[in-house]
Structure 1
């Protein structure tokens, strides 16, 4: 990587940080889900490390994996099938991509909560005890590859190159940050179609950790009986399992054999 490329990455990270603060901080102040939550709340530095890790380290890896498998999938899918898809009106293609990707990520997300191997990586995301725009970035890079890969799988199969779905990828990224934000902006019955932060907040509930697996539209949760949305906010977020309190710990722990991590946990932490 050249110096100019590194500068561009750092510049893009800084611009993204300022943009997200300008967009979400006012929303969290005007429409707070938890009114007493401060900007610099506990574990803010940890989540900021995840933010920097995503933008400075892992985003390139995720995009490389997406591009590699995207090219592979588009090469093995029959061109005749892709031609039929592309001959449809553009709006139909968009609907198909969004519907199929929501279907895949719904079941992929349910598997993350039911398959121990997948949960080992996904629990990093659920270990956040405070939700806001920054907490959305607490995600293990391998978990990111799994999630983003599933979301974009239909587009790749239909023959869309990565560049053509960049807008959809960006939109889903912003949406993910929105539903994790400390915002409660009730939209009434429309939340069954569009979704809202309060739905995903209950997905992060410490006591239940179930339901509301869908990505953009909750329709999949409604269809498969996992739609949950009480009128109140959860009292606590997080997981009941022990989890590292450091960035490196949360990145390394899921990769280690379970017995190895249990031995590390027994060692007293330095104060």
Structure 2
């Protein structure tokens, strides 16, 4: 069993317990932005085939997640919250669970709001949620399998592992959660396919306990 496995398992359990609170926060955002929703746009999207609705959900969510993720990296006051996620030094399926509660609410709340405004059908939303949950586990795993042409379209473990690398060429790259599209469009694509990163984690070591990481972003520097 790797170091800090117990810590990440605690994050895994806690984050699942927080789902109801995150949904309430998402609903709070929706009620304050209902005026933005377009009935005609939502009706048009719901009239499209199910597969196309799912593709639109993936792209819209990926666009929101890309910029939310990039802002947490590049805005100095926000980075300490996201640094908690990057403090993992051994990547596996459980590593993706380590995330600061503040970022969880912001990230998922914004995605929920964007997908609500899009107005896709419940069936499409269910498929997207399943896809996103499975992909989040897979891309943090150490599953070293050939992905073929898929790796040029979707985020795969090797691609996302480079995002977690503490090696300088890879720092602040590969922000996308679902596809590689926006990293390519906005110049943050980094994917040496011949090898995997040698080092993971943050350049400045974080506290090793949950409470230490919870209060880390609020410490004066």
TM-score bracket, normalised by the shorter chain, equals 0.7 to 0.9
State how many pairs are aligned.
218
Question: 1:131 aligned to 74, 91, 99, which one?
Answer: 91
Gaps of 5+ in 1: 1-39, 260-271
| Match of residue 44 from structure 1 | 5
1:60 maps onto 2:23 in alignment: no
Q: 2:45 touches 2:120 (CA, 8 Å); kept in 1?
A: no
TM-aligned CA deviation for residue 124 of structure 1: 0.4
Report the Cα offset of residue 166 of structure 1: 3.8
Q: Which runs of 5+ in 2 are unaligned?
A: none
Per-residue deviation at 1:92? 2.9
Give per-residue Cα distances to partners, 1:191-247, cap 9 Å, x unaligned. 011231000111001123221111111122222222212221211100012311101
Distance 1:87 1:54 in 2: 35
Give yes or no for contact 1:70–1:162 (8 Å, CA) kept in 2. no
Among 192, 195, 200, the alignment partner of 1:237 is 200
Q: Call closer, same or farther: CA 1:196–1:81 in 2, change over 3 Å.
A: closer
Q: Which residue of 2 aligns with 1:83?
A: 43
Q: Does the alignment pair 1:214 with 2:176?
A: yes
- State the Cα distance separating 1:162 from its structure 2 match: 7.6
Larger Rg: 1
1 or 2 for the larger relative contact order (CA 8 Å, sep ≥6)? Answer: 2
Contact 1:110 1:213 in 2 (8 A): yes
1:167–1:90 CA distance, 2 compared to 1 (3 A): closer
Q: Is the 1:123–1:239 contact (alpha carbons within 8 Å) kept by the matching residues of 2? A: yes
Q: Which whole-Å CA distance do the structure 1 matches of 2:106 and 2:80 have between them?
A: 13
Match of 1:151 in 2: 111
Residues 71 and 161 of structure 1 are in contact (CA less than 8 Å); yes or no, is this contact kept in structure 2? no
Q: Which has the higher mean CA deviation after the structures are superposed, 202-211 or 153-162?
A: 153-162
Normalising by structure 1, we get a TM-score of 0.73
Aligned residue for 1:8? none
Structure 2 CA distance for partners of 1:90 and 1:170, relative to 1, 3 Å:
closer
Aligned twin of 1:99: 59
Cα distance in 2 for partners of 1:67, 1:161 equals 17
1:114 is matched with 74
C-alpha spacing 1:96/1:163, structure 2 compared with 1 (3 Å): closer
For residues 88 and 170 of structure 1, the distance between their equivalents in structure 2, rounded to whole angstroms, comes to: 20
- Alignment partner of 1:116: what SS? coil
Query: Is the partner of 2:178 in helix, strand or coil?
Result: coil
